[in-house]
Amino acid sequence: MKRIKNIHPGEILLEEFLLPLNITAYRLAKSTGMPQTRISAIIKGNRAISAATALRLAAYFRRVQIAFILLLCACNSRRHDVLPTDQLAIRLNNEALRIYMHNVSNKDSLQKALILLDSAIFLRKDKNFYTNKYIVARRLGQYTLALASCDSILAVDHNDFFATLHKGYIFEDMNHTDSQNSYYSKAYSLLDSSRAWQSANMVRDREKIILKGLLKDTVAYRQMVDVFIVKYDTSKVYKGIANEFSTFDRDRFLERF
């Protein structure tokens, strides 16, 4: 039986994306910051799509970027410039974090970071990728997407403290009081039930104080602050936190810790 020749990614790039969208190789090169010679070589089938090129195409084509990630993974694995799926997913995630850290207030850049994270998650369902997607989505004010990211984590581990706590944060941002209190209460109970927290007592106790503050449990909050100070011999500055409870502000409170 005669083996059918593999379709080169450049042919897919040309036939499925550039021609239908009326995008020239010159325009694609200018928009992505890549040399036109590289784009032309890919289109002609004389060059493979490297991981770096795939990342740039992913950011440029936005919603259809997954096609290029699949093409990259389908390339001949003997080529040295092609990354295995897991490594590519990690690289996509790292690139998204880099964009986020350097452009935390730029919405267009954050959208690109979100796209790269979607690609990473498509390749590998990783808890850390979902966590990063939550952070970026919440920063953009896309609360539905942020909630969906937390739900994806909870689908794997319904007792995940981070996802539970941050669902409470999102509902607070959305002014859904009942829902936020429900998740804050569940997060509080997870601190006592999870073995993972038993070896990190100071962190656990600090989180419990924060949650009591978020739940506006004034009496328990003040008592726990006093116990925290005595138990860990911390600076007297923490006493001021309890006195500020009447004007409780989560971000200012967290900064003090």
Q: What is the pLDDT of residues 43-94, one digit of tens each?
A: 888 887 766 677 677 667 765 455 555 555 555 434 444 556 677 788 888 8
How many CB atoms are closer than 10 A to CB 13?
A: 23
Domains of the chain: 9-74 (1.10.260.40), 200-257 (no CATH)
For 92-130, the pLDDT digits (tens) are 888 888 888 888 888 888 888 888 888 788 778 888 999
pLDDT of 239 higher than 80: no
Please state which of the ranges 22-31, 58-67, 128-137 shows the lowest mean pLDDT.
58-67
* Tokens, residue 20: 């239908």
SS (HEC) of 66-94: HHHHHHHHHCCCCCCCCCCHHHHHHHHHH
State the pLDDT confidence band at 251, using cuts at 50, 70 and 90. Answer: low
8 Å CB contact between 48 and 81? yes
pLDDT of 131 higher than 60: yes
Reported as type and span, the H/E element at residue 40 is helix 36-43
C-alpha 129/C-alpha 148 separation (Å) is 13
pLDDT of 4 higher than 50: no
pLDDT at position 164 is: 92
pLDDT of 147 higher than 90: yes
8 Å CB contact between 140 and 117? no
Task: Name the DSSP letter for residue 244.
Answer: T
Chain centroid to CA 111: how far? 11
Task: Compute the average pLDDT of residues 168-174.
Answer: 90
pLDDT at position 123 is: 77
The pLDDT > 90 percentage for the chain reads 17
Predicted TM-score (pTM) of the model is 0.67
The pLDDT > 70 percentage for the chain reads 73
For 192-235, the pLDDT digits (tens) are 787 666 665 777 887 888 888 888 887 888 788 778 777 776 65
8 Å CB contact between 29 and 35? yes
